[in-house]
Each structure stands twice: as C-alpha cells, then as structure tokens.
Amino acid sequence: MIRNRKKLIGFALSLCALAGSVFSQTPPPREPTPLRPKAPKVDIYAPPDAKSFPGFPEKDGLTTEKSIPVDPNVSIKVCVAEGDLKINGWERDEVRIFVKDGSKFGVKILEKSADSGKPNWIHIKRAADQAAPGAQIRECISGQAIEMDVPMKASLTVEGRVTRTTVDSVRKIYIKNLEGNLSLRNIAGGITANTYQGDVTVENSGGAISLESATGNIVAFEVSPGQIGDVFKAKTNSGTISLQKLEHRQIDANSITGSVLFNSKFLMGGLYNFKTSNGSIRLTIPSASSCTIKASYGFGRFNSEIPLKILTENETPGGSSVVASIGEGDACTVSMTTNNGSIGIKKQ
C-alpha cells in the first residue's frame, strides 16, 4: 500500500515538472514586419523634365547670364513662353540677358553691321539641347524673371505667351502677347503692342502707335508723333480706353464694351474718331477749342459744358445724331459714336 502511494506521488511530481517545463518555455521571436518605403514627395507645380516626359525641354530652374557686344542700332528678336520680362535701355553698346530659375538660352547672330562690324541683328532663343514641343514655343525662353539691358537705340520684336512685360527707354518695339499686362515707357520711335488678355499702358512715348487688347484696358499718357502723319490707334474688345495729353493729329480709339475717355487738346488739322458699342464717351478739352463735332448715339444722351452751335440734329427710333461746332469749327473734326451710352464734353 505504502509502495503504491509512493509511486503515485512520484508520478504526480513528474507530471508537475513536465507541465512547468512546458509553460516556462520562451515563445520563439516574431519576424519583424517589413517597413513600407515612403512615397517620394512630388511637386505638382514643377515643370516636366526631359527624362520623364520625352519631347519636353530640360527641367527649368537654372539661373543664367550672358552678354554680347552689339551695334548701337541693333535689332533684337526674342520669344518668352512664361515669366516676368523687363527690358531696359542703357548707354552701352552691349546686350545683357539675365534669366532667373528658367531655361538655358543662346544668342544667334543674324547679321553684322558693315560699318562697325558688330552684330546689328540678333535672336535670343532657347538653347538647342532644350527643344520644346510645337513650333510655336520651340525657341521661346522661360523663367521666373527675365531681364534684358539693351542699347537705347535698339529696336525689339517680342513675342510672349504668358508674360508680364515692362519696357523702358528703347527706340522702337513690336510686342505681341497672349496673356499679361504690358507697360511701355520712353519709346520714341513707335510702338505696336497687342495682348489678348491684359492691360496696355504707354507713357512718354512717340511715333506711330498701335495698341490693342482683347480683354483689358488701354491707357496712354504724354504721347506724341515722331513725324507728320503718324497715327495713334487704340482698340479693345472689353475695357476702357483712357487717353491723356496726346499730340497726335490722327487718333482712332475703339472699344466694343467699355468707355472712351479723352483729356487733351485738339490740334489744327486733326482727325479724331472715338467709338464704342456699349459704353460712354467723355471728352475733356480746353474751352477755347475750335472743331466740328459729329455725335451719334442710340440709347443715351449728348451734353456739353462748352457752348455749341448746332448745325444739324436728327432723331430716329434707332438713335440720334448731332453735328455742331465749337468756336469757329474749322480747326479739326471730331467723330463720336456709341450704340448704348452717353456722350459728354467737359472743359478743362
């Protein structure tokens, strides 16, 4: 009996030892969960580079400066795809180009002067290894800021896509822009400026001048002809035309939707034409002016602070027309037409 009890106790002790060994075993270590690689940070505003988008130019972001000696009467051709463009005239016979955060560029000499031997016609364009898709922008440079210093006698031909452009103290300029404001100052030899979307401002300039905007205002201040017969033209589809201190004898200002404002004097032999389809016409002139006025208006009225002598007056269901003279009426001819708006003459 005692022997059996000892066996039982020994068996029980062995079971406990076995259980203790089982529960005391350390569990095997777990395999660590592999970390997912972080997604690369993508700048959605960064321009595409040539590696990821074949056919596009090399990624912008370069700052480049170049200069070239030129003839003082140099003609310069440049196309700008995007950026703030500033062109300034200086007294050096040299062209300096500075591009910040933009594309590489080069200067191609198209012609040299027979007298000075220096380039008198150059083309500033995107570098050959950065060919852009499409013929229209293949040669256009771009950058956050583009600055050019050119001789004061230089003539420029500028084409732009999306630019805000300021030009100061050059001889002559032709500029055509898709989008962006144009500010032109101290240009004595003539201006042709066209922007599809933006304002055009001209100050202290001369020569034959033609300004046009599809959707923007046009402002001209202290502008004069370079020679007899130079014409001033301003046209906008949607915007105000404001003219002040103009000395051209031939002025043609036309706005489809917007007012036309003129604050200046009429000159002997002048031909002035102010027209808008939907807007008012306001003339502010000296009370001693002498000119013949032709005013036509549909829905609106005509009034003058300066005494007029009515020559003819017609009223029809479609509108009214007045022909009148200020003073002797023999110095100049002024035509004003609006389909929907008023016409007013104020004295300075």
Q: Please give the tally of structural domains in the chain.
A: 3
Tell me how far apart the alpha carbons of residues 271 and 249 are, in angstroms, rounded to a whole number.
Answer: 6
Closest C-alpha among 183, 153, 4 to residue 85: 183
Tell me how far apart the alpha carbons of residues 119 and 74 are, in angstroms, rounded to a whole number.
Answer: 7
Residue 44 domain flag: no
221 and 236 together in one domain: yes
86 and 116 together in one domain: yes
70 and 105 together in one domain: yes
pLDDT at 296: 95
233 and 270 together in one domain: no
Q: Rounded to a whole number, what is the distance in angstroms from the first to the last CA of the chain?
A: 140
Residue 344 domain flag: yes
138 and 218 together in one domain: no
Cα Rg, the chain, nearest whole Å: 37
Residue type, 113: S
Residue 281 domain flag: yes
247 and 295 together in one domain: no
Last residue of a domain, one of 233, 258, 283: 258
201 and 232 together in one domain: yes
Mean pLDDT per block of 10 residues along the chain (348 residues) reads 47 47 46 43 33 38 94 97 97 97 94 96 86 61 96 97 96 97 98 97 98 97 96 97 98 97 96 97 96 93 94 89 94 96 95
Domain carrying residue 149: 63-158
pLDDT at 294: 96
In order of 12, 135, 213, 263, the CA distances from 177 in angstroms are: 100, 16, 9, 28
pTM of the model: 0.80
88 and 147 together in one domain: yes
Half-sphere exposure of 348 (CA within 13 A, CB side): 13
pLDDT at 127: 87
Phi, psi (5° rounding) for residue 270?
-75, 150
pLDDT at 39: 37
